[in-house]
Amino acid sequence: MLHKAGLTLGDGTTLDDLINRDMNEVSLRVMNDKELYELEMERIFARTWLLLGHESEIPKAGDYVMRDMAEDNVIVSRARDGEVHVMLNVCPHRGMKVCTAEAGNAAAHRCIYHGWAFRSDGSFIGAPIEKEQMHGNKHSKDELGLKKARVHLYGGLIFATWSKDLSFEDYLGDAKFYLDQLFCRTDNGLEMLGPPQRFVLPCNWKIPGEQSGSDGFHTLTLHRSLMEGGIMGGTAESIYDTAPGMYGVDISVPQGHTLRCLEAAQTFKMFADISFEGKTTEERLNLLTPPGVTKEMIPQLFRNLTEDQVNQLATIPPQVGGMFPNILIAFIFAPRMDGGASGALSLHTYVPKGPDKVEFVNFIFAEKDAPEDVKRDMLQNAIWSTGTSGTIEQDDADTWPQIMRNARGHMSKSVTLKYQALHGHERPEGWVGGGDLYPGFTKDDTQWAWWMAYYDLMADA
Amino acid sequence: MTVNYATAAIDKTSVMRGLVSTQRVPLGSEVYNRLLETLYDEAAALDERRFDDWVAYLAQDLVYTAPLRLTRNGPNKDRDVVRTMKHFDENYASILMRTGRLSKSAWAEDPPSRTRRFVTNVRVAQCDTAGEYEVVSYLYVERSRFDNPENESITAERRDVWRLVDGVYKLAVREIIVDQSTLGMSNFAIFL
C-alpha cells in the first residue's frame, strides 16, 4: 500500500485521486485547477530551484535583468562585489516595482513612487529627506532591504530559490554527471546571445512541463515535419517504420530531471555515410562535434570534463530533456543546408502566470569561445527550430492550449493521462552515470518520473 | 575586422525605427501607389495562404528579421529595439523551408489560422541604390485560431526595402518591429 499524501482539495479530492500511482495515470483535471495551482505556487515554486538566466547577461557591476519566479517578479543583478543577487522587485514601502525596466545598469534602484532606494545587492539605502526618517522607526534599515532569494550559479546559469535549506547539489542529484556535459564543458562556458524570447500561451504550465520530462514519442507524430525535412533522418512516409530518433537511453532522477541520450553514430549517419566503428573518443568528437563546439575547442572538453563524461558526449550524448519543474533543455544537432555551423542550444522556462496561462521564455546560447560566425549560425538555428517562430515548437504551441481547454469540461477533466508504456530501469552494459536508465525505444518512464517528483513536493505540506 | 554580432546594428546605428532616407516619395505619386498596391497584394496573398504567390514577391537575397523589443528606462528608454535577439532571422532559403513545411506536414496551422492583415501609415523614400525604396508601414494582424471566439492580435512597424526588378517590386529587406516585449500571440507560425 502506497503512503497517502497530505493534500486534499476543497471537494475532498486527494493527491492520490489525481495521481494514481498504482495505475500510472494522472487526472486531466490537474491541467486547469485554481486550487491546485495555488498549492503548486507554495509547494513547488516557492521551494525548489528556478532558472532565471545566465551570468553573461549581466557582466558588469550594476547590470541587471528583470525576471519572474512564477508570478513573483524579481531583479537579478550583479552587485559591486561581483556577486549575483536575486531579490523581489517589490518595494517594502508601498509594494511598487522598484525596477521598471527589463534590463539595464544601475548602481542603485530607486522606487519611482516615494523614492526608497536600494543597492544592487538589495540592501536598503534610505528614503528621501533623511532627517525626517521616512522609513519610520519600527524597522532598522537592515530590515528594510528587498526580500532576497538564495542564488546558485551552475555553468553560469543563474538559479534561485526561496527555500532556506534545499542545497543545489541535492536539487541536481545524479543529473549533474550528464548536465555538466552540456553546461560545463568548455573553458569559458556558455554565453546567452541576447535577451530571451518571451510569449504567452493560454495553457497550464504543467502541459509543457510534463512534456519537458523527455517526451520523445510525441516528436514522431506532432513534429513529423522534422522527418520530412530530413532533419531527423527518414521521410514523412516512413516515419513509423524507421522511427528515427526514438532509440537511445532515457534517464531520470528522483528530483524529476530527465534527459534523452541519442547515439552519436545514429545522429552522424543522418549527415554523412562514415562509420563510427572502432574510432577513439577524440576521433568521434572530430567527426561529430557537440552542437556549438568547434574542432578547435575539442581539447577544452577533455580539460573540463572527466574521461567518462567526454566519452559519453562522443558516444551517446544527452540532447534533450528537462529540469524539474519547468525547464526544457534542447541542445540539439540541427544540420544546415548551406554548410554553416550546425546545432542549436536552447533552454526554456515555462513560467506559470495563472492556472490557465504560461509564459514561454526561450534562452538561446552559444559557446563563448566559438567564433562569431558560429555564434551567428547558432542563433539562427535556434530561432528556426525553437521558441516564437521555431518550426518545431510552433506545433507544440498549437497543441498545448487545446489540452487545457479540455481540462475544463466537467466530464473531460476526469479523463486520465496514461503513462503506462513503461520500460523500467535497466542499466546498459558499461554505463557510467547514475540515475534511472531506460535504454531502447523512448517510453513513458521519464515523464512518470517527472510526475513522481511533482507528487513528492505536492504531498509534502 | 570581426563584427561583434552582439552589438552590430543593421544599418545606421542610431535608427531604431522609421525611415532612414530623407528622399521622400510623395503620397499619391506613381511609385507610392504601386508600392502601396504591392503591400495590399502581399497581405492578401498571406491572408489567403497563397504561399507560392507570396514567395514570388521575395528577392533571393532577402533579409527578413523581427528583433525583440525590451522595456527600458532612463537614458536608454527609447533604445528598445534589441537586434541581438530576434523572433525571425530569415533568408530566402529559410522562408522556403518554412512555407514548404506549412504547405505539407506541419501541424501548426493545420487547421490554419484565419488572418486579416491591416497595412497602414505607409511612408516611402528612395534608397541610395537606384530602383530601391524604403517602405515603412504599420501592420495590425487579427488572427482567429480554431473555434476560439477570442482573436490573437499583434501590432508592428515594418521597415522594408522593395526593389524594382523587371517592372515588379521585390521585397529585399524587412525588419518587423513588434510592439510587445512579451508576445501575446502564441506562436509566429504566420508571416508578418
Report yes or no on A454 lying in a domain: yes
- Inter-chain touch A388–B93, beta carbons under 8 Å: no
Same domain assignment for residues A103 and A244: no
- Inter-chain touch B104–A222, beta carbons under 8 Å: no
pTM for the full model? 0.95
Report yes or no on B187 lying in a domain: no
What is the pLDDT confidence band of residue B177, given thresholds at 50, 70 and 90? Answer: very high
Q: Please, which residues bridge with residue B99 across strands?
A: none
Report yes or no on B65 lying in a domain: yes
Which has the closest alpha carbon to A315: A271, A283, A345, A274? A283
Distance from CA of A162 to the nearest CA of B (A): 25
pLDDT, residue A379, reads 97
What does pLDDT average to over chain B?
Answer: 92
Report yes or no on B5 lying in a domain: no
pLDDT in tens, A152-180: 999 999 999 999 999 999 999 999 999 99
Q: Which domain holds residue A91?
A: 50-165
pLDDT in tens, A7-41: 999 999 999 999 999 999 999 999 999 999 999 99
Cα pseudo-dihedral A51, A260, A396, B99, rounded to 10:
110
What is the pLDDT confidence band of residue B36, given thresholds at 50, 70 and 90? Answer: very high
Same domain assignment for residues A252 and A154: no
pLDDT in tens, B16-29: 899 999 999 999 99
Q: Which domain holds residue B131?
A: 24-178
Same domain assignment for residues A130 and A203: no
pLDDT in tens, A348-384: 999 999 999 999 999 999 999 999 999 999 999 999 9
Same domain assignment for residues A268 and A409: yes
Q: Is A197 helix (H, G, I), strand (E, B) or coil?
A: strand
pLDDT in tens, A84-124: 999 999 999 999 999 999 999 999 999 999 999 999 999 99
CB pairs under 8 A between A and B: 135
Lookup: cell for A248: 537511445
List CB contacts of A412: < 8 A, sequence separation 6 or more.
A28, A406
Report yes or no on B185 lying in a domain: no
Predicted confidence (pLDDT) at residue B5 exceeds the cutoff of 50:
no
Same domain assignment for residues A243 and A150: no
- Inter-chain touch A395–B70, beta carbons under 8 Å: no
List CB contacts of B31: < 8 A, sequence separation 6 or more.
B25, B124, B133
Q: How many CA atoms lie within 13 A of B22 on its CB side?
A: 0
Percent of chain B with pLDDT over 90: 84
Q: How many CA atoms lie within 13 A of A424 on its CB side?
A: 0
Q: Which of A149, A165, A181 is the last residue of a domain?
A: A165
Cα pseudo-dihedral A200, A333, A59, A154, rounded to 10:
90
The C-alpha atoms of residue B159 and residue A250 are separated, in whole angstroms, by 46
Predicted confidence (pLDDT) at residue A432 exceeds the cutoff of 80:
yes
Report yes or no on B15 lying in a domain: no
Among the partner-chain residues A102, A228, A229, the one whose CB lies closest to the CB of B72 is A102
Same domain assignment for residues A145 and A216: no
A397 contact residues in B (CB cutoff 8 A): 108, 186-187, 189
The CATH number of whichever domain residue A121 belongs to comes to: 2.102.10.10
Report yes or no on B111 lying in a domain: yes
Q: Which of A165, A184, A205 is the last residue of a domain?
A: A165
Q: Give the residue with greater pLDDT, A231 vs B46.
A: B46
pLDDT, residue A429, reads 94
Same domain assignment for residues A159 and A255: no
Same domain assignment for residues A428 and A305: yes
Report yes or no on B132 lying in a domain: yes
- Inter-chain touch B182–A201, beta carbons under 8 Å: no
Q: Which of A145, A165, A185 is the last residue of a domain?
A: A165
pLDDT in tens, A222-273: 988 877 765 555 565 666 777 778 899 999 999 999 999 998 887 777 666 6
A194 contact residues in B (CB cutoff 8 A): 6, 68, 82, 84-86
Same domain assignment for residues A137 and A260: no
Do the bridges between strand A318-323 and strand A327-332 make them parallel or antiparallel, or are there none, so unpaired? antiparallel
| Structural domains of chain B, count | 1
Give the residue numbers in B contacting A (CB under 8 Å), as ranges: 2-6, 66, 68, 70-74, 76, 82, 84-89, 93-94, 97-98, 101, 104-109, 145-146, 181-189
| Structural domains of chain A, count | 2
Distance from CA of A246 to the nearest CA of B (A): 19
- Inter-chain touch B89–A383, beta carbons under 8 Å: yes
Percent of chain A with pLDDT over 70: 95
User: Are B155 and B140 within 8 A, CB to CB?
Assistant: yes
pLDDT, residue A237, reads 65
The CATH number of whichever domain residue B126 belongs to comes to: 3.10.450.50
Report yes or no on B44 lying in a domain: yes
Same domain assignment for residues A180 and A154: no
